Homo-oligomer: A and B are copies of this chain.
Amino acid sequence: MSQNVYDQGEFFENYIKLDRQTKGLDGAPEWLQLRTMLPELKGARVLDLGCGFGWFSRFARSEGAAHVRGIDLSTKMLDKARRMTSDDAITYEKADLEDLVLLETEYNVVFSALTFHYIASLPRLVAEISKSLKRGGRLVFSVEHPLFTAPTTPSLIVDKDTGRTVWQVDAYQQEGIRTRTWFVGGVRKQHRTVGTYINLLLSSGLRLTDFVEWCPSEEELAKNPGWDVELIRPTFLLIGATKD
């Protein structure tokens, strides 16, 4: 059973204030690049894993998707998604991705934003996704970058000897749970290496087509000077793959 931090009152009250929740997809800086990885959505059958407030589900329908199935573990997220949606071709559903079972060759597109790094049984889930994709179908997802999740205790410090701001990496190759404070303490994430993400795709019969370690453009940096931390180490990894 997954941890469901999203339904904790204190977490939820803070989470809903994030730009990416109040402004939707356009509030997420990495969305522009993730969007380029998507195929034509017109007429597509789409699965949205970790759909949250349904921003992507509604986007897919606005692009002409035939049907979108949004899945999340959080009752609060789904309640809000349903309130924000009036569209019979979007189905929201509460389920745990740790044991989700999918039908064969059902989807043209499987999308997932910042969800897979919570899933312990990701190899099982990726195999289900691959099975459920039609030939030529696409998996497009984002996760917290392995360089971001690697440290047992995350710390960005100013090194006294050199004056550089540095990200301290102590356990890149040791995969498993990382416990973080994010609005509340005890938020559990799964650290995996870049190699593990890539090999999960390859061993599930998917072909890697897109790999972006998100970095702000100079223009974005000028508008958001605080994003320069992204030059030190990326926060987001965006991946696209095709079922041949």
User: Main SS of the interface on chain A?
Assistant: mixed
Assembled-state Cα–Cα distance A94/B124 (Å): 49
The interface-forming segment of A45-53, A100-108, A208-216 is A208-216
For residue A207, CB closer than 8 A to chain B, the reply is yes
Q: Are A173 and B230 in contact (CB under 8 A)?
A: yes
Interface centre among A159, A195, A212 (most CB of B within 10 A): A195
The interface-forming segment of A83-91, A113-121, A164-172 is A164-172
For residue A198, CB closer than 8 A to chain B, the reply is yes
Copies of this chain present = 2
Give the chain B neighbours of A230 by CB distance below 8 A.
Answer: 173
Assembled-state Cα–Cα distance A201/B192 (Å): 23
Give the chain B neighbours of A211 by CB distance below 8 A.
Answer: 194-195, 198-199, 202
Q: Which of B155, B161, B208 contacts A202 (CB 8 A)?
A: B208
For residue A152, CB closer than 8 A to chain B, the reply is yes
Supply 10 A–B pairs (Cβ within 8 Å), ascending by A: A147-B169, A153-B164, A155-B159, A166-B170, A168-B169, A172-B233, A194-B194, A199-B211, A202-B208, A208-B208
